[in-house]
Amino acid sequence: MSYRRFYTQAQLGRARLEKMKQYLLDRCVEEDGPLETKCLVYTGSCNPKGYGRVRYEGYMQGVHRLIWEASFGPIPEDLWVLHHCDCPPCCRISHLYLGTPADNTRDCWDRGRHPGNGGYPWNATPDEVVLEARQMAHEGHSLAFIAECLGISHSGVTRIVRGETRANVGGPVTIIEHRKSSRFVGVRAHSPGKWEARLTLNGRTLQLGLFGFEGDAAIAYNFHVAWLGLDRPLNPITEEDWHHD
């Protein structure tokens, strides 16, 4: 690729990112927060933890990350975009900063957000919190998300939602099974009868599609690894893996 062509493509990519940034900011509203300046809260689609998400260049990305990249350039692979304001959907640049996963954990402890810091022990959780945990599990939220939201340890949430403790409080009992693992690299069970192919690239997970057969998902993973020219081992595929007649 010539330098001129590379430079032109880089310019186009920058222009697309700037256009996306403006699109996202137009969907933000100011709200009061813990800092002197108001939070700029994204009102579009968010993940279960409250972080804004949008499809950009073929896969879902964090809104606050895109706005950071549009403002300051690429994010180093070993760093995260963190919030001073503890407001996940906030996109105000002055409320964001780069940090390591260790920085994020330390902030959780310092600000009292970590389940182990000021949270409830499983045998002393208020009845209303027990009921909320069971209702959230019944609605399909993950144990990790419930633990983070309610300030209960992961093991404590497990015992509560399964009815192994505090049964007298009531509420729906839910058995949350772990997802079945796959014998193939880059494949995991998504839902009954469905397998998901995934590929991690530059610290981000690309969703390659859902398939009715485990072998088909493994083939999709192999195809993308080869297509992208990645130096990664491919899944060994036998006739039984792709022949479904």
DSSP 81: E
Q: Does 127 share its domain with 90?
A: no
Q: Does 11 share its domain with 103?
A: yes
Q: What number is the average pLDDT over the span 31-57?
A: 86
Q: Which helix (H) or strand (E) holds 160?
A: helix 154-161
Q: Which residues of 111-139 are buried (b: 16+ CB within 10 A; e: fewer)?
A: eebbbeeebbebeebeeebbbbbbebbee
Q: Does 128 share its domain with 204?
A: no
What is the Cα–Cα distance from 100 to 82, expressed in whole angstroms? Answer: 9
- Nearest one of 181, 190, 191, 244 to 216, comparing CA atoms: 244
12 - beta bridge partners? none
Positive or negative: CA dihedral 210, 216, 217, 223: negative
Q: Which residue has the higher pLDDT, 206 or 94?
A: 94
195 - beta bridge partners? 189, 211
In 35-141, which ranges are continuous DSSP H helix? 63-72, 101-110, 127-138
Q: Does 100 share its domain with 198?
A: no
Reading the block at residue 235, the tokens are 């899944």
Range of the domain at 146: 122-169
- What are 92-151's pLDDT values in tens digits? 999 999 887 666 666 665 555 544 444 554 456 777 788 888 888 887 777 767 776 676
Count CA within 13 A, CB hemisphere, residue 64: 28
- Domain count for the chain: 3
Reading the block at residue 51, the tokens are 């972080």
Instruction: Decide: pTM greater than 0.75.
Output: no
- Is residue 178 assigned to a domain? no
